[in-house]
């Protein structure tokens, strides 16, 4: 696994409380994901046709932008095999006629008040006519970061973006959603 860091490598801290971002999920982070894919495919130990992209929250948004049609620069290597996005913010993607060129799985909580599931559901439903590659699982009662182990549910404040515009959102583990998402990820990446 490779975890490209789009922020600290550019001397930026956590971006959750920053409204005017210098690194965009739709541009710089896509370039970072593509560079990571090319690097992985250059390694002798990598199956070049099995490199997938996965991200959480803002990284999930970047993963979904990374698999849009027209984004992939061939460069002689295979494309991403698949994509997984944990609780991405889908509002902008939903309004941009998003579709995926590779199988893409979105895992999100129904109670997520930071990145609402409804936006992702709308995005996936809208992609059905343009792409059969998108799947979504919405976990009842789960908040943002539902897959983080042993993380009690609590509220964050001062966020740059939240569903209601207040800058407040809940985060925390949902054991059932965490367990199911781990099982699904293993199946998704090995199919």
pLDDT digits (tens, 9 = 90+) for 68-110: 887 665 667 788 999 999 999 998 888 888 889 899 999 999 9
Phi, psi torsion values for 109, nearest 5 degrees: -90, 140
Per-domain residue ranges of the chain: 8-190
Please identify which residue in the block is written with the tokens 């990820």. 185
Do 143 and 112 contact (CB within 8 A), yes or no?
yes
H or E element at residue 135: strand 134-139
Q: What is the pLDDT of residue 77?
A: 77
Per-residue pLDDT tens digits for 136-152: 999 999 999 999 999 99
DSSP sequence for 66-111: HTSTT----TTS---S-EEEES---HHHHTTT---SS-EEEEEETT
CATH architecture observed for domain 8-190:
3-Layer(aba) Sandwich (3.40)
Is pLDDT of 166 > 90? yes
More confident residue, 23 or 164: 164
Q: What is the pTM assigned to this prediction?
A: 0.89
Q: Is a pLDDT exceeding 80 seen at residue 62?
A: yes
């Amino acid at each position: 696994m490779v975890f490209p860091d789009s922020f600290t490598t550019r001397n930026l801290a956590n971006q959750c409380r920053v409204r005017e971002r210098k690194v965009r999920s739709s541009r710089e982070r896509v370039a970072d994901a593509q560079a990571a894919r090319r690097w992985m495919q250059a390694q002798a130990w990598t199956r070049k046709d099995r490199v997938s992209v996965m991200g959480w929250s803002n990284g999930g948004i970047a993963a979904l932008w990374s698999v849009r049609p027209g984004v992939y620069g061939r460069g002689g290597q295979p494309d991403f095999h698949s994509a997984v996005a944990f609780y991405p913010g889908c509002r902008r993607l939903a309004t941009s006629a998003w579709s995926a060129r590779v199988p893409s799985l979105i895992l999100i909580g129904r109670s997520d008040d930071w990145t609402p599931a409804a936006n992702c559901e709308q995005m996936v439903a809208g992609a059905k006519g343009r792409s059969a590659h998108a799947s979504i699982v919405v976990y009842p009662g789960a908040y943002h970061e539902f897959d983080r182990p042993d993380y009690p549910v609590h509220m964050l404040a001062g966020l740059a973006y939240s569903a209601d515009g207040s800058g407040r959102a809940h985060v925390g583990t949902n054991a059932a959603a965490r367990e199911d998402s781990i099982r699904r990820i293993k199946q998704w990446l090995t199919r």
